[in-house]
Amino acid sequence: MLGADGTVETIIGTTIHPVWSVDRQEWVPIAKLADGERLCCDTESFGLGFPSSLTPKASGLVLSVSLSRVSQPVYNAEVQGEHVYQVGELGLLVHNACAVFNSEMTKALQWLQ
């Protein structure tokens, strides 16, 4: 991911973990992101983690997406309240996946099989 200040950062996550796409104006599983897609790294204009009348600034640009099958530990963190938090040095906005994303997660899991 390329930050607005020119910083390049690699984000690693599960394929079904949702991030906020400024281009699509919705939560998108990491595996479904496209090269060149703009992502939200600015929570000040984002409000409480859900779309508002303010358009989030696109502070991150997807340079490439690569998928790999590896076995490694994952952690299920529960975030109280809006279930939204930021990761990495650039502060990519991610969602602590909940029932809202079940259909997208199911599709992503089917793709992996």
The number of domains in the chain is 1
Cβ–Cβ < 8 Å for 57, 40:
yes
Q: Which residue has the higher pLDDT, 77 or 32?
A: 32
Q: Which residue has the higher pLDDT, 7 or 42?
A: 7
Q: For residue 83, give its domain range.
A: 2-112
Query: Which residue type occupies 31?
Result: A
Choose the most confident range, by mean pLDDT, from 55-59, 75-79, 83-87, 103-107.
83-87
Buried b (16+ CB within 10 A) or exposed e, 17-39: bbbbbbeeeebbbbbbbeeebbb
pTM over 0.85: no
Is the pLDDT at 54 greater than 60, yes or no? no
